[in-house]
Structure 1
Amino acid sequence: MKLYSYWRSTTSYRVRIALNLKGLSFETVPVNLVAGDQRSDAFRALNPGQGVPALVLADGTVLAQSMAILDYLDHLVPEPELIPSDPLKRAQVLAAAHVIAMDVHPVNNLKVVNRLKSQFGATADDATAWMRHWMTEGLAAFQALLPQGPRFCFADAPQIADLCLVPQLYNAHRWGVDMTPFSRLLEIEAEALELPAFHAARPENQPDATKG
């Protein structure tokens, strides 16, 4: 498999964690979002959505959208289970995961922030304040959905909610979000990053990582 990825992309980060947890080998193909590689004709032909991640299977099939890729990988390799089979637990875990994947990430996406700057005159400080606002609001909602007791978000092993949370916390730290209210989330993050699958997936450990 080939994973078209950008080192700081939180959606790519989710998929890297899942591939590692499932023990699946993959080749990383860097797509520099800042340089605009995603808008090239070649990449648009691969993924019309012009975003990462894109996962190319051995037969050439291309999968896009991180949540769909995670669902595919969970069916392909059932253990460890990322999405619970029990209907109620499944709904609870997915609801939390979707807070980040559908409420927080889309409004903080690079193309949205760039549009705020180019179309509406937002400054760099304005853009940072925008991102901090939506991350703070979303993380508060996410934390409120979690039960007390499990080592990770909903269980003693990571699931899809954890795979969404940890990359989003990377962005929160990067952009200076006040993490004081989120002690439970920081505990989960610390537990997760001790696991080899999460550690190997960290942005700074990717082949295209830079110091910028």
Structure 2
Amino acid sequence: MATISSRRRSAIALATAAALVAVGAAGCGSSDSPASAQPNPSASASTAAGVVTIRDPWVKATDKGMTAAFGTLVNDGDTDVTVTGATTSLSSMELHEMAMKDGKMVMRQKQGGIVIKARSTHALEPGGDHLMLMNVTKPVQAGDELTFTLTFADGRTQQFRAVAKPFTGAQESYAPGHGEPMPGMSATPGMSMSPAS
């Protein structure tokens, strides 16, 4: 009788241990699955953990002067988030917007920062809000990766990387006097707002 009880106890202990190992392995697999099941081609250039997610970040390639960084800011949280500043080692930066002035489209500093509403997205794009690199210290060539740091209204910061791409759409001129009307920015219908790949 005692032998049968010992065997049963041993069998139960082994079954319990096996079940715990199986549950532990399944738990590890499920936490890794979403990232590996949904590959992100620009994973190194996107930030999924932090204040916001930055989707498809890119920078307009340039030889000198001014340029801009673009992408989509995603706020999955329950409260609005405000970007109040951006920095990179390549130049000083400002948050910019395009707005109508005297019937013409002009570029100007965005007052109050860039607000990303709760559970929504905010596009940074040519002809709209963007992160302005004021005076690059060296050429930004297609394929270069730049690191940016965003600062938020609550003092938090977040880094992301963006790749440089050639872009001729919208004919934007990021040159001194950027508050002046810009050639080619008369909201021409059908104008491409995507970088060359």
Q: Which interval holds the TM-score relative to the shorter structure?
A: under 0.3
* Bigger helix fraction: 1
Q: Which has the larger radius of gyration?
A: 2
Q: When the two structures are superposed, what TM-score results if normalisation uses the length of structure 2?
A: 0.23
Q: Choose between structure 1 and 2 for higher RCO, CA contacts under 8 A separated by at least 6 residues.
A: 1
* Bigger strand fraction: 2
Q: When the two structures are superposed, what TM-score results if normalisation uses the length of structure 1?
A: 0.22
